[in-house]
Structure 1
Amino acid sequence: MSGRLALAELPRLRRSGRVAVPGHDPAALGVGIVHLGLGGFHRAHQAVFTEDAATAGGDTRWGVCGVTQRSDDVVRRLRPQDGLYTVLARGPGELSARVVGTLREVLYAGAEPDAVFARMADERVRIITLTVTEKGHRRGADGGLDLADPVVRADVAGAGPPVSAVGRLVRGLQARCRASGAPVTVMSCDNLVAGGEVLRRLVADFCAALPPAEGGPLAGWIETSVRFPSSVVDRIVPAATGADRADAARLLGVRDEGAVAAEPHRQWVVQDDFAADRPPWELAGVVLTPDVAPYEAVKLRLLNASHSLLAYLGALRGHETIAAAVGDPELAGAAERLMLEDAAPTLAVPDGLDLAAYRRGVLERFANPALPDRTVRVAMDGSQKLPLRLLGTARDRLAAGAVPRWAALGVAAWMAYVARAAADPALPLDDPIADRLCEAASGAADAPALARRLFAVESVFGRDLPEDERFTSAVVERLTPLLRGAI
């Protein structure tokens, strides 16, 4: 198949009716949003909501400039396609496809930093969004910017183009301040607690590390002209595969090198705190609310926590995918009890949300056989994810006088996974502190020793949990059979 997806193919695709195409002319869109972190998740989530909002509202100002940060792979895939790509929605027994056209420019920050900064400085850009993962924020143990990180230090020094996401963001804001000074909204779309406040602090820390004559005025302008709303994002989007690209080509009749696959479900909750205009996202089903915290807690403590539990237990049992793990009755039961017995009592449920239906929906979504999400993919970055997904629940239950035995199982499963990965190179330990974790696990002779050594990683567990004998004992109790291959 020699042809390739591009704007010129849209009339033919519209006539064929085999895939959905944009309800407006993508070429007519102006760029109003810059997005840092142009992976599959953004393309299957925020970009789709934004396109639907633009179609529903007839507003052509909200095209996206997508910035890829780590390599030029996405640029090579999408630039020859005029920014177009297919989103395949894979559900049990169903497959649908749509071509998304809201991505109007694709830049590689490593090779085109000036173009990235020029876009962020453009007063027609009203929103900057980020999906850079938890570790991509480069936070220190205190939650602020890790100024000891060599990449962060180099970005602050300004000897060359910035490499970190926060460095690129701040230098882009600096360019905007020097140009028009127009207000702008910056929004994290990662799985973080109070992501807006996290990002605000990281930006403030970066500014404070600059020379006072440079950082002071910039910080002052940010205080008055930039907003940092939080958001909650939800859609399972595994890494794209050759099978996804083959299915897209079959439906399109031309190649699509940028195709992504996702589950049918999608949700976006956004704090309604903007410095300037925004797309009419509510017309696309986005929940705009003054406070995202209740939605955030439900998602992190039910969906994300059980996702991690199934990933670690599933990988330990040899299950390649999350669907296979949740098909294991013992593992599905553990995920259900984690949500019901440990997480649910800690939640302030948003109005109108049926928590029992949400729990059932979580396991149904994980069981989707059409979406082979790998357990080892979900298992990555555990040192960053555990505090957000499991340890908040553990702390709240301990404070209420209860022992969170299922959260303890999740922590124990992570510890057993680390120990297995340290001994078996075939099991990947993709984590920003992998070397430290492997060193701790390699020196442990049994469950109590392994737990003691990993509990000593303060950036994960803090100082309080390792000193709570109720929790440490519960983790050791769960860890002992896991090291023998049982639950």
Structure 2
Amino acid sequence: MTEQTPTRLAPEALRHLPATIQRPAYDRDRTRIGVVHLGVGAFHRAHQAVYIDDALALDPDWAICGVSLNSRDVRDALRPQKGLYTLALLGQTPQLRVIGALREVLAARDERERVLGRLSDVDVRLVTLTITEKGYCLSAGELDFEHPDIAHDLANPRAPVSAVGYLVEGLRRRKLQRLPPFTALSCDNLPDNGGKLRRAVVAFAQRLDHDLACWIAENGAFPRSMVDSITPATDDALRSRVAAELGCVDAWPVQREAYAQWVVEDAFCNGRPPLERVGVTLSNDIAGYDRAKLRLLNAPHSALAYLGSLMDIGTVAQAMATPVLARFVERLMREAIAPNVVAPRGFDAARYVDAILERFRNPAIQHRLSQIAWDGSQKIPVRLLGTIADALAAGRPIDLLCLPVAGWLQFVRRQARDGVALTDPMNEALSQVGRRATGDAAQDVEAFLGLHGVFAPLATDVRFASALRDAYAALGDGSPEAVATALASAG
């Protein structure tokens, strides 16, 4: 007896799904592609595409053409499914939802002209991007004309390979057709993402055609944005669970925590989806939201990473299940960080802290502290030292804020003692200081403060140095027991 091939997720399978599975709340056949998304990876499909899926129930003109700039994998997985895929929301009660917003999936390396055709289609009015920071081909925040992809595209502008090259060629074709430009919306987590994208696109166009560059600068739009949602990688366990619950195979489901945030600058040039009706925050202070996230979310993450690692704890959820650490982190957020955050208008810091704490406690998200601990030399200055500097300027106490910084120093010392390399661009310098550390707070802290790439200009502030020495001494030998005692006694 031959084994039957499992049914594949496809439009005709939707009506046979169990009633517990949420499915598109609109007629997909009546939708039109109005969005091109560059970088159709897991985060986009778990985040922006879900908002657009909700928006399509209100306006059918904003379905998505997803473009993979380098890989064929997503196209090959989802094209047989007509773009359908499953989102697993990870919470106390996990939920599955089939997303229908992705009407077309293209692989740019094979289908360049189809991609450019979409970018110059009159129905397409919005191009969104999740290509990671390296995809913008920047150097010191500006377009790197020496980057191989940019050099290629300048020499072959009608056959681009970079995101910037595709945007400029698409806009050039629209100008020739007397079509208005599309809005280009960066959804990558880099500061001033829209500003960086605008400058890169205009600079590239300027090298090719001065009039085109002026037309883009005068008529185009590049809103800033902020996105947030933890999106673990798809694994075989997810695929098996989805297949069992759907009763059919999904080649590439995605998963994320239930929480999601998308803040967008309301600066579009050619219409937009009804984003404000599907949970998107429209604001002209994206920098304020970025700052709040950096300080109220990312800084406590780092605190959990270093203090929790010293306590031999594995994940964020396990750290939050450790009462002494959970209490300290909540105090850190409410008493030491929130008062030093200049929040955007309408931003409720207390509710934001509540939401973050709930996210941290979510046992369905296995966010490893060891991974969050990477690149401390890059993260500590922007996540914690800026808040400390603001607190000092305002005359506020910094003792709670210094404990996670001291935790990082103790973490570096422990890794160096154990001969474990740090995942950090300053590994060599940090490890040298860590190996020389003896546990004497005055000597060790003075040596670490000598790393001016991390601590300047706070390194010369006697108030900071004193508080950091006290915090370092309180952590003792950095053992789980010493750290727990220091946290219990904090403040």
TM range (shorter): 0.7 to 0.9
| Residue of structure 1 in register with 2:199 after alignment | 201
Cα deviation, 1:124-182, whole Å, max 9, x if unaligned, reads 211111223445545444x3345565555555555996555445444544454455452
* Helix, strand or coil at the partner of 2:13: helix
| Residue of structure 2 in register with 1:438 after alignment | 427
* Helix, strand or coil at the partner of 1:35: strand
Q: Does 2:222 match 1:228?
A: yes
| Residue of structure 1 in register with 2:232 after alignment | 238
1:415 Cα shift? Answer: 6.0
| Residue of structure 1 in register with 2:180 after alignment | 182
**Following the alignment from structure 1 to structure 2, what is the Cα–Cα distance between the partners of residues 455 and 410?**
19
Cα contact 1:146–1:152 (8 A) shared by 2: yes
**Following the alignment from structure 1 to structure 2, what is the Cα–Cα distance between the partners of residues 43 and 86?**
9
Q: Match of 2:142, as an amino acid?
A: G
| Residue of structure 1 in register with 2:253 after alignment | 259
**Equivalent runs, 1:334-345 vs 2, <5 Å:** 334-345=328-339
| Residue of structure 1 in register with 2:369 after alignment | 375
1:466 Cα shift? Answer: 5.0
| Residue of structure 2 in register with 1:284 after alignment | 278
**Following the alignment from structure 1 to structure 2, what is the Cα–Cα distance between the partners of residues 263 and 37?**
21
Cα contact 2:285–2:344 (8 A) shared by 1: no
* Helix, strand or coil at the partner of 1:265: coil
Q: 2:391 aligns with which of 397, 408, 423?
A: 397
Alpha-carbon distance change, 339 to 154 in structure 1, aligned in 2, over 3 angstroms: farther
Alpha-carbon distance change, 277 to 159 in structure 1, aligned in 2, over 3 angstroms: closer
Q: Match of 2:60, as an amino acid?
A: T
Worse overlay, 313-322 or 263-272: 313-322
Question: Larger radius of gyration, structure 1 or 2?
Answer: 2
Q: Identity of aligned pairs, percent?
A: 44
Alpha-carbon distance change, 369 to 162 in structure 1, aligned in 2, over 3 angstroms: same
Q: Match of 2:428, as an amino acid?
A: E
Q: Does 2:3 match 1:4?
A: no
* Helix, strand or coil at the partner of 1:306: helix
Q: Does 2:122 match 1:123?
A: yes
Q: 1:451 aligns with which of 448, 451, 474?
A: 448
**Following the alignment from structure 2 to structure 1, what is the Cα–Cα distance between the partners of residues 97 and 273?**
20
Q: So what's the TM-score if we normalise by structure 2?
A: 0.82
* Helix, strand or coil at the partner of 2:142: coil
| Residue of structure 2 in register with 1:100 after alignment | 99
Alpha-carbon distance change, 96 to 204 in structure 1, aligned in 2, over 3 angstroms: same
**Equivalent runs, 1:129-168 vs 2, <5 Å:** 129-134=128-133, 136-141=135-140, 143-147=141-145, 152=150, 156=154, 158=156, 164-168=162-166
Worse overlay, 325-334 or 119-128: 325-334
> Aligned-residue CA RMSD in angstroms?
3.5
**Following the alignment from structure 2 to structure 1, what is the Cα–Cα distance between the partners of residues 421 and 158?**
37
Alpha-carbon distance change, 34 to 390 in structure 1, aligned in 2, over 3 angstroms: farther
| Residue of structure 2 in register with 1:82 after alignment | 82
| Residue of structure 2 in register with 1:64 after alignment | 64
**Following the alignment from structure 1 to structure 2, what is the Cα–Cα distance between the partners of residues 109 and 241?**
25
**Equivalent runs, 1:409-448 vs 2, <5 Å:** 409-411=403-405, 413=407, 429=423, 434=424, 436-444=425-433, 445-446=436-437, 447-448=444-445
Q: 2:25 aligns with which of 23, 30, 33?
A: 23
**Following the alignment from structure 2 to structure 1, what is the Cα–Cα distance between the partners of residues 209 and 408?**
41
* Helix, strand or coil at the partner of 1:187: strand
**Following the alignment from structure 1 to structure 2, what is the Cα–Cα distance between the partners of residues 219 and 415?**
48
Equivalenced residues, count: 468
Cα contact 1:87–1:260 (8 A) shared by 2: yes
**Unmatched tracts of structure 2, length 5 or more:** 438-443, 484-491
1:367 Cα shift? Answer: 0.6
**Unmatched tracts of structure 1, length 5 or more:** none
Q: Match of 2:429, as an amino acid?
A: A
* Helix, strand or coil at the partner of 2:335: helix
Worse overlay, 241-250 or 176-185: 176-185
Cα contact 2:24–2:100 (8 A) shared by 1: yes
| Residue of structure 2 in register with 1:329 after alignment | 323
**Following the alignment from structure 1 to structure 2, what is the Cα–Cα distance between the partners of residues 471 and 163?**
48
| Residue of structure 1 in register with 2:213 after alignment | 219
* Helix, strand or coil at the partner of 2:124: coil
Cα contact 1:66–1:105 (8 A) shared by 2: yes
Q: 1:44 aligns with which of 36, 43, 46?
A: 46
**Following the alignment from structure 1 to structure 2, what is the Cα–Cα distance between the partners of residues 163 and 428?**
34
Cα contact 2:38–2:66 (8 A) shared by 1: yes
1:79 Cα shift? Answer: 2.0
Alpha-carbon distance change, 155 to 467 in structure 1, aligned in 2, over 3 angstroms: farther
Moved segments of 4+, more than 6 Å: 418-428
**Following the alignment from structure 1 to structure 2, what is the Cα–Cα distance between the partners of residues 388 and 151?**
30
* Helix, strand or coil at the partner of 1:192: coil
Cα contact 1:440–1:453 (8 A) shared by 2: no
1:74 Cα shift? Answer: 2.2
Cα contact 2:157–2:169 (8 A) shared by 1: no
1:334 Cα shift? Answer: 4.0
Cα contact 1:5–1:254 (8 A) shared by 2: yes
Q: 1:247 aligns with which of 241, 252, 263?
A: 241
1:71 Cα shift? Answer: 3.0
Cα contact 1:53–1:279 (8 A) shared by 2: yes
Q: Match of 2:103, as an amino acid?
A: R
Cα contact 2:234–2:253 (8 A) shared by 1: yes
* Helix, strand or coil at the partner of 2:387: helix
| Residue of structure 2 in register with 1:192 after alignment | 190
**Following the alignment from structure 1 to structure 2, what is the Cα–Cα distance between the partners of residues 32 and 79?**
19
Cα contact 1:66–1:103 (8 A) shared by 2: yes
Alpha-carbon distance change, 195 to 395 in structure 1, aligned in 2, over 3 angstroms: farther
**Following the alignment from structure 1 to structure 2, what is the Cα–Cα distance between the partners of residues 263 and 415?**
31
Alpha-carbon distance change, 475 to 75 in structure 1, aligned in 2, over 3 angstroms: farther
**Following the alignment from structure 1 to structure 2, what is the Cα–Cα distance between the partners of residues 120 and 149?**
23
Alpha-carbon distance change, 438 to 380 in structure 1, aligned in 2, over 3 angstroms: closer
**Following the alignment from structure 1 to structure 2, what is the Cα–Cα distance between the partners of residues 150 and 412?**
41
Cα contact 1:192–1:388 (8 A) shared by 2: no
Cα deviation, 1:101-141, whole Å, max 9, x if unaligned, reads 00112223344444333322323211111223445545444
1:22 Cα shift? Answer: 0.4
Cα deviation, 1:447-477, whole Å, max 9, x if unaligned, reads 44873575426xxx7x645555554665566
Worse overlay, 310-319 or 24-33: 310-319
Alpha-carbon distance change, 402 to 240 in structure 1, aligned in 2, over 3 angstroms: same
Worse overlay, 410-419 or 74-83: 410-419
| Residue of structure 1 in register with 2:487 after alignment | none
| Residue of structure 1 in register with 2:488 after alignment | none
Cα contact 2:72–2:107 (8 A) shared by 1: yes
